[in-house]
Amino acid sequence: MSHFLVIVLTDEQDEDEVERLLAPYDEGGEWFKDESRWDWWVVGGRFTGYLDGYEPADDPRNIEACRMCHGLAVRPYPEDTPVEYWHRVHDRAVERGIENGEAVALADRGRQMLSDEQIQPWVVFGGDQDIAATPEDKAKPYHERLEQTISWIEECKGCNSCKGTGQELKWSTQWVEHPGDVGRTEDVLVAMQREDSYPPVAIVTPDGKWHEEGRMGWFGLQFKQDEEGNPPKDERDWRAVARALCEQWPDRVATVIDAHV
């Protein structure tokens, strides 16, 4: 499955017009139907900030408690007792600069969650619950596998999801709406000139035409053709085409679309 950046150009800022221009390219439940290009889309999404450089990961409104450790910043080690886990959570909270009163409250919550089996402890490498274990892993002595596990836990700073921060970025579908995801064609030209920039995979112009580097498949540009049935464009050629399209349609509204196929 692939997510890719599409820029939709319209004469005015109008969400209904964006939807109308994209509608002809809907798969409608039929995978890779002729002339179709997407099965789902959202304004911004994974490409939020493309036009103005906004970083969704730097916006505290897009941050939530880690779903793996429940915001405790460390998951229970193998064979931890509730008391041992209490100390792990408390010590990690102190390391993070959290005041002792709040650290104690977090530790109390962690101890209760472990007692109630509401949090998933780490699994010992090569154990029965290690679904990725190889026969060689399982053949190692338990103490070796436990040491290997503890080493990995410490490398992950206690949680392999948040790396010991207790926080993580929300799914892109839950990010706050960013006004900068609707701009002008000139903003697209500037975005393509930024360092480490990339052009959109496709641009839909106000006349309803879909222009693309190449047709997206489940894992990137798998289809060996573009919207006209020609081989996919070289990225340098596509950049030139994308720039030319923006110059052909100056001072139009440009909407950032996260499309999926």
> Pick from 43, 94, 40: which is nearest to 72 by CA?
94
Report the pLDDT value the prediction gives residue 107, as an integer from 0 to 100. Answer: 97
Q: For residues 100 and 25, what is the distance between their CA atoms, to the nearest angstrom?
A: 57
Task: State the CB neighbour count (10 A cutoff) for residue 249.
Answer: 19
pLDDT for 225-255, tens place per residue?
667 777 667 777 899 999 999 999 999 999 9
Q: For residues 130 and 116, what is the distance between their CA atoms, to the nearest angstrom?
A: 22
Q: How many CA atoms within 13 Å lie on the side-chain side of 20?
A: 11
Asked whether 194 and 53 are in contact (CB, 8 A), the reply is: yes
pLDDT for 176-209, tens place per residue?
999 999 999 999 999 999 888 899 999 999 999 9
pLDDT for 94-142, tens place per residue?
999 999 999 999 999 999 999 999 999 999 999 888 888 888 888 999 9
Q: What is the pTM of this model?
A: 0.81
Give just the sign of the alpha carbon dihedral 203, 208, 209, 214. positive
